[in-house]
Amino acid sequence: MTVRGDFKEPARPRPELVIGREELFAGAREQLSGGGSVLVHGPAGIGKSTVLRALAAECAESARTVLRCSATESESHLPFLALADLLGLVVDEIADRLPAPQRTALESALTGRGESTLQRDGLALRLAVLSAFRALAARGPVLIVADDLQWLDPASAELLGFAARRLGGTPVRMLCAVRTETEPQAQDHDRFLRATVPDTLALRLAPLARAQVAELLLQRGYTGLPRSTVRDIHRTSGGNPLFALELGRALAESPTRPSPGEPLPVPTSLRALVLSRLDMLSAEARRTLLVASAGARPTLALLHAAGRENAEAETASAAALGLLATERDTPGIRFAHPLVSAALYAEADAQERRAAHSALSRAASDPIERARHLALATTGTDPAVAARLGEAAAAARDRGAPSVAVGLGLLAARHTPADTRPSSDERRLQAAEDALTAGETDLARDIARQVLARATAAPDRVRAWMVVVDSAGQAMAEIDAVFPQALADAGDDPGLVALVRYQLGWRALLMDGEMTKAREEAARSARLAARAGDRRTELLALGFQAQMETLMGHPDAPATIQRAMREPQDPRVACDHNGAGAARFRWLIMGDRLAEARTAITALLREVQRRGMVESELHFLRGLAETELRSGHCGRALDLARESLRLARDTGIGEAATAMFTSLAEAAGGDVDRALALAHEAVDRAEEDGDMVYLSRALGALGHAELVAGDAAGAVRSLRRVRELEEALGVIDPARGRWHGDLAEALVRIGETAEAQDVIDVTRRRALRLERESVLAVLDRAEALVRAARGEQGPAERQLASAQDRLGKLGYGLEEARAAYALAGLRTLPTAPGLRAGGTAVPGPTAYDEAARLFRRCRALPWLRQVESAAALPPAAPPLAPTALDTLAATERQVAALVMEGATNREIAGRLFISVKTVEATLTRVYRKLGIRSRVDIVRLAAERRPD
């Protein structure tokens, strides 16, 4: 029990307590802050007590009295025990406020002195508990925290429920937790609601996602676990945090970790949860369940084929014990929880397991499954088994299941005798390459390192080095020492040297930021691979060369793409994210051929998803999202970007690049604060990896998000860095990052029109040479803002209208809407008579109607909010004298006009979507240009020019 005197703002819980529970916490906070009560429920180990403690820590600060009880199964037979926990320490404080019969009955129940029972003192006890809670509530808010309601002794549960149902209108909140069944559709928490106040919000704790399990394990110190192992932990635990942590602990304490495809070690603490029920099965039923646990997709038909004649009756008895989930309209057999299957398999001895696999190797209809079971039933090396496993791995690869192929390949290596072809190391390397395809980069690296530790053959060593390089992703700096070793192993073999030179091209790009050198290495690799007859490496090198030439604006880019697309083709390279198809997509989207780009990237995405090529899928999801964003389909782009970010987080592949692009999508159609956070994350990751290429892209996303957020000065800082980086990288094509218009616009907002014009002029020359029509239209939009800032209102309006029309015809919906928005803003600027060159004043709401319609069509919510705010602004104050106006930029005139209205710097910042610091800097320039010293002088100048 805790007593506090004053109300305080609830403290936020430590983030580690609520991994994956953000939405639940939001709902609970809203309910509790409104004086309501919450019942958290879910299966054992799902984290109810952890959530309860975190919520209680928040709410305790706003309660005068906190009453707690936490029941246990072993004590649930003791009457009034929970009641004693709740009221035992406070009964003396409120005893004198209870009628004598109630006081006597309550004291007898709490102390155990006397013979108080519900049967004898039922009414007096019920009224006493109700009176006690009311007396406590009269002194201030009361919070009742009750964990494990399922173990509450019946007497306490009855009394608590009686009081709770009658506490309406009093400041009493209840925060409770109860264990319920595993099935989400189960409603067995309903009966526990009777022990809480009316209208209690029931919240079910769901299993954690794989990424959340990974975060939990990392937080608790279980580091260094391969992602494939984390995946197995998530699958075996069913997303249950307690089970996941116990499995993580068992792995951390185990001297050897299981190979891919092998079951996880299940600690005794978890086995005990299910073994007691397993002991209630007959020996034959237990053998039947063991066969089911060994099978990938067990059915009754499979169990019969495996020799389990009484499978129906034996599985029915297991279901009655809660070990199997009853399935309707399906022949499948499903364990009530993955842990049941894992514990059952872990408990069996090696001979029992081999017998189960032997039976399944004859019964399974799928050749891949038959081969896997045959391997697990076989001890020692066996060339026939190894060959069957190799064939099964190839079949899995063709089916688009590379992660399955990994496990089969490693089993094949284990059963491969010495001095046979393919060798065990070759099989392991194929498994490592399959792991790369499946997105399991850490597993691929570990396998390659194992091969390098013992292999002597140059082809095996170079191939292993290439896996190590590929598994590093963008973080090339971490494996820089690999390249000299790989070149030494390659010797004079042109095929092996081609592999290394291809990767050296990537090193030159990512680490040194040298596109010219990267292109040269790619071309050299392609020539060497062609000499060696290695078409796969030649195609990859040509695809990379084409990408570099495209970004550099090199005239050979189209010809290189054509060379990369000639027959013969390697089907896997054709759809690889570094292949010719990807290079062609980049060429199409940079050349404003959006419809063709969408068709190309959609076909590539469909193919890599069919093949299970995870890294390529991630790239093409981003590519499709980019196409949709360029087309003005912001909602669709945001959905795709968020999907790609989930995949990147799950696999650990391309997180910086995906955060960068998701930032752009969030800024266009989602949440600007989220866009800023993702852009900062991308910048930090790229700088940490030493990745100059993606650093420039990340800074471009940051600058764009800052511009949308109204921080023009911040956008200028970020985008100036992009300009410097791309000049150093040798990026010529402005269609690569498309940041140039944003930089020019941000420069205009802070009054740097000369620099803005310079950005426009330099970029326009390049865009004209490369025929980048959409870039030219965006530059015209930015130049119109420069002209408006110089007082050329009429020409600026005409240029903006032309840019809007061209962007619309090209299919760039979002950019078209931005041009309409800029045009509306121009038409509502405070200006002096005669400066519109024939233009007519347009009322604010009418001027913004077209922009609002276009942004709404694009689902560009952040921009739409800006339009709605701008349209709602009051009419501008009378403008300054024409002679003064001529010296002010557009943003300076807007700020000055709002000063005349009496707006504060913070209000001005909010209205114009710029930062307070930008307002202050703008005012400083206004004072200097007008020869004045303060805001008062601005108002005075305005008053002097008003007509009498």
pLDDT band for 465, please (50, 70, 90 cuts). very high
Q: Does the N-terminal peptide bond of residue 331 adopt cis geometry, omega within 30 degrees of 0?
A: no
Lowest mean pLDDT among 298-307, 334-343, 882-891: 882-891
User: Is residue 722 within 8 Å of residue 739, measured between CB atoms?
Assistant: yes
Burial class (CB in 10 A: 0-12, 13-18, 19+), 771: exposed
pLDDT in tens, 774-801: 999 999 999 999 999 988 989 999 999 9
pLDDT in tens, 582-606: 989 999 999 999 999 999 999 999 9
Who has greater pLDDT, 163 or 678?
678
> Residue 830: its pLDDT value, please?
52
Task: Collect contacts of 847-856 with beta carbons under 8 A, ≥24 apart.
Answer: 847/823, 847/871, 848/821, 848/824, 850/820, 850/824, 851/817, 851/820, 851/821, 851/823, 851/824, 854/813, 854/816, 854/817, 854/820, 855/817, 855/821
The mean pLDDT of 473-483, rounded to a whole number, is 84
From residue 522, how far is each of 504, 538, 545, 696 by CA, in Å?
8, 9, 5, 22
Q: What is d(CA 206, CA 252) in angstroms, rounded to the nearest whole number?
A: 26
Count of other CB atoms within 10 angstroms of residue 605 = 19
> Residue 843: its pLDDT value, please?
44
- Average pLDDT over the chain, rounded to whole? 86
pLDDT band for 913, please (50, 70, 90 cuts). low
Who has greater pLDDT, 239 or 18?
239
> Residue 507: its pLDDT value, please?
92
From residue 141, how far is each of 6, 156, 206 by CA, in Å?
10, 22, 31
* Token output for 644: 């790609």
pLDDT band for 118, please (50, 70, 90 cuts). low
Residue 71 CB partners (closer than 8 Å, separation 6+): 81, 82, 146, 147, 148, 149, 150, 151, 152, 153
What is the chain's alpha carbon radius of gyration, rounded to the nearest angstrom?
35
Closest CA to 347 of 243, 269, 268: 268
**DSSP characters over 176-230:** EEEE--SSTT--TTGGGGGGS-TTPEEEEPPPPPHHHHHHHHHHTT--S--HHHH
**Angle at 372 (CA atoms; ends 368, 378), nearest 5 degrees:** 145
Residue 727 CB partners (closer than 8 Å, separation 6+): none
* Residue 176: strand pairing partners: 39, 146
The mean pLDDT of 141-149, rounded to a whole number, is 91
Q: What is d(CA 582, CA 548) in angstroms, rounded to the nearest whole number?
A: 12
The mean pLDDT of 192-213, rounded to a whole number, is 82
H helical segments located in 295-337: 300-305, 311-320
> Residue 516: its pLDDT value, please?
92
Tell me which range, 12-16, 332-336, 568-572, 758-762, is most confidently predicted by mean pLDDT: 758-762
Who has greater pLDDT, 841 or 19?
19
The mean pLDDT of 816-833, rounded to a whole number, is 78
pLDDT band for 78, please (50, 70, 90 cuts). confident
pLDDT in tens, 695-714: 999 999 999 999 999 999 99
> Residue 878: its pLDDT value, please?
41
From residue 69, how far is each of 41, 158, 645 by CA, in Å?
16, 15, 42
The mean pLDDT of 668-674, rounded to a whole number, is 94
Residue 693 amino acid letter: V
User: Is residue 666 within 8 Å of residue 678, measured between CB atoms?
Assistant: yes
This prediction has a pTM of 0.74
User: Is residue 715 within 8 Å of residue 706, measured between CB atoms?
Assistant: yes
User: Is residue 149 within 8 Å of residue 72, measured between CB atoms?
Assistant: no
User: Is residue 345 within 8 Å of residue 316, measured between CB atoms?
Assistant: no
State the DSSP H helix or E strand holding residue 69, giving kind and residue range, or none if neither.
strand 65-70
Tell me which range, 95-109, 110-124, 712-726, is most confidently predicted by mean pLDDT: 712-726
Q: Does the N-terminal peptide bond of residue 484 adopt cis geometry, omega within 30 degrees of 0?
A: no
Sign of CA dihedral 567, 568, 573, 574: positive
User: Is residue 532 within 8 Å of residue 498, measured between CB atoms?
Assistant: yes
pLDDT band for 39, please (50, 70, 90 cuts). very high
Q: What is d(CA 547, CA 585) in angstroms, rounded to the nearest whole number?
A: 10
